[in-house]
Amino acid sequence: MSQPLRILIVDDSALMRRMIRAMLDRDPDLTVVGEAADGREAIARAAELRPDLITLDVRMPVMDGVETTRQIMAYQPTPILVLTASLSRYDIDITFQMLGAGALDVMEKPQLSDGAALERARIALVRKIKLLARVKVVTHLRGRRKQNVELSMVNGELPNKQATATSPSLGGTSTTDHSPFTIQHSPFPVVVIGASTGGPGVVRQILAGLPRGYGAAVVVVQHIAQGFSAGMVEWMAGSSALPIMLADAGAAIRPGQVIVAPDRVDLLLDDKGRVKLSALPLLLQRPAIDITMQSVAEAYGPLATGVLLTGMGRDGALGMRSIRRAGGYTIAQDEASCTIFGMPKAAIDLGAAHVVLPPDKIIEALIARVDTPRRGIT
């Protein structure tokens, strides 16, 4: 690197700020340019210092992590890495709200433990910062709209309601002349959704858009830090008409239900629709999207649909190609709506994607592809 990456540390604990600074100062490619003890100070320091990345606490006085993320992403878009000390339900919920507001990723805070564990935590933190600091983040206007609404209410004004636009017809950038076909025969179809950095909010949006009684089983493989998958499931379930649960070994998948791969293991399906969880170190990333998609391609062939969303690297590209070669249907998220276009681009370059779509069109494609019974599945 020609210039060190400039980092802003935000945490209400002076001890934690000192610890994170000491960890980062050991790497010549990183320099800590400032600190902040609460959200409001973080916003001011971000505007003043224009750092390459912000490490952001969840619980803080004056302004919590959610509103801080919204304001930074609305007025000074900067890569944000969420650091949380707790995996409690309350803190996990705030954490995923921060990811939905534009933060890129989450890690558990380093613990004051033995030297070997602390060094492993330092290496993981430095690696994550170096990856995320180069991401070109986009402005999230929701923070500005929220602030404008609050100002209008203070002034005694009511915001104008926008007319709801009707959904346009299914479309997008197609990499082939083939169109999606509707699956109407048994066994039931399976949809695999793979995502990494920037993915939780998009996955949540897609699941929230699928109707109750959706006629396919849905499998989600989201790269997430260890310890956060259960909380992510609860967060996603809060906005979905479909039941969402962590995958259990031996459980049978069902149409109208969503299972999510636990962190640190790979999820496979057999031809009877039963879950197998594997901890074999077959790939660098675990859970691996490629492994899940390849197993679904083998077991379900033309009944499989693969969806590859935002993320860094190439995981999922080979799996998407397996689904396409098996006669299934494949969708890649478009570049404009991706936080990081790496994984979808890899699939597109490989010729693995039938179509390239934004999230709202992905929802339409998934609904159009699957014949959903009118009666919901309970």
Does the annotation count 140 as an active-site position? no
Q: Please, are residues 185 and 215 in contact by the beta-carbon 8 Å criterion?
A: no
Residue of 11, 57, 223, 322 marked active site:
223
Identify the CA nearest to 224 among candidates 143, 144, 156, 287. Answer: 287
Written as one string, the DSSP assignment of 15-66 is: HHHHHHHHHHHTSTTEEEEEEESSHHHHHHHHHHH--SEEEEESS-SSS-HH
Does the annotation count 315 as an active-site position? yes
Q: What is the pTM for the complete model shown? A: 0.84
Element containing residue 325 per DSSP (H, E) = helix 317-325
Does the annotation count 196 as an active-site position? yes
Weakest-pLDDT range from 22-26, 117-121, 360-364? 117-121
| Domains in the chain, CATH or no CATH each | 5-142 (3.40.50.2300), 183-369 (3.40.50.180)
Cα–Cα distances (Å) from 215 to 43, 187, 296, in that order, read 45, 11, 16
Mean pLDDT over the full length of the chain: 86
Residue 360 has pLDDT above 90, yes or no: yes
Residue of 57, 266, 290, 315 marked active site:
315
On the CB side of 57, how many CA atoms lie within 13 Å of its CA?
24
DSSP 8-state secondary structure symbol assigned to residue 197 = T
Q: For position 372, what pLDDT does the model report?
A: 65
Question: How far apart are the C-alpha atoms of 292 and 307, rounded to whole Å?
Answer: 12
Residue 132 has pLDDT above 80, yes or no: yes
Kindly report, residue by residue over 47-104, the tens digit of the pLDDT: 999 999 999 999 999 999 999 999 999 999 999 999 998 777 778 889 999 998 999 9
Of residues 201 and 114, the one with the higher pLDDT is: 201
Question: How far apart are the C-alpha atoms of 219 and 328, rounded to whole Å?
Answer: 15
Residue of 57, 140, 196, 266 marked active site:
196
